Chains A and B, each alone.
Chain A
């Protein structure tokens, strides 16, 4: 049981390049999330998904796209990277709990630098 895994762990991009971050979970969770973590700002939600084939915007969605073609995978795409997207990206998942918030389980993170 690997939990939540993220690929890659590190990446350096040049401005304007594109890339995709992959998140996979083996806990059969309905919900999946992408966050970015910046110094002094905690974690901010980029996009999330409430189930296979669904996605929705979070607090800071601009410049990112996501897809959830399979229940266990959640992809985060940067079409044209900018230096402001330099950050640590975390994926998380949680089970469906009616009417309340459940614990989120986090991956180890991807450190992205955009030059």
Chain B
């Protein structure tokens, strides 16, 4: 079945550091890929998505590229801020009925 594996946390960075959170997937077909973010005490919200190979999703300085050859969708940001502290989830879905989430990576950014 479809599944997502993302790097374990927690990740602690200093403000303005470069961020990478690795995500790889296993899928039988051609899924859409997502990054969701969860701030403390809140539900998940979409950060970015990509629907086909070589697509790049971007939002709020975060980027991720859909790499079919390496089955990856790594999240990157060039300069993190304290306000980026949250839990990040990689997810995939081939249709609206079966979204699969990774375990989540907790990011803490220190001033």
**How far apart are the CA atoms of A108 and B40 in the complex, in Å?**
10
B98 CB–A CB distance under 8 Å:
yes
- Consensus secondary structure, chain B interface: loop
A102-B43 contact, Cβ under 8 Å, with A41-B103, A42-B89, A42-B101: no
Query: Is the Cβ of B99 less than 8 Å from the Cβ of A45?
Result: yes
Q: Which residues of B contact A50 (CB under 8 A)?
A: 96-97
B81 CB–A CB distance under 8 Å:
no
Interface size range of chain A in the complex: 20 to 34
Interface residues contributed by chain B, number (CB under 8 Å): 25
Question: Can you show 23 pairs from A to B with CB atoms below 8 A apart?
Answer: A31-B96, A42-B4, A42-B89, A43-B89, A45-B98, A45-B99, A48-B97, A50-B96, A50-B97, A56-B97, A58-B98, A90-B44, A100-B32, A101-B32, A101-B95, A103-B34, A103-B49, A104-B44, A104-B99, A106-B36, A106-B44, A107-B43, A108-B41
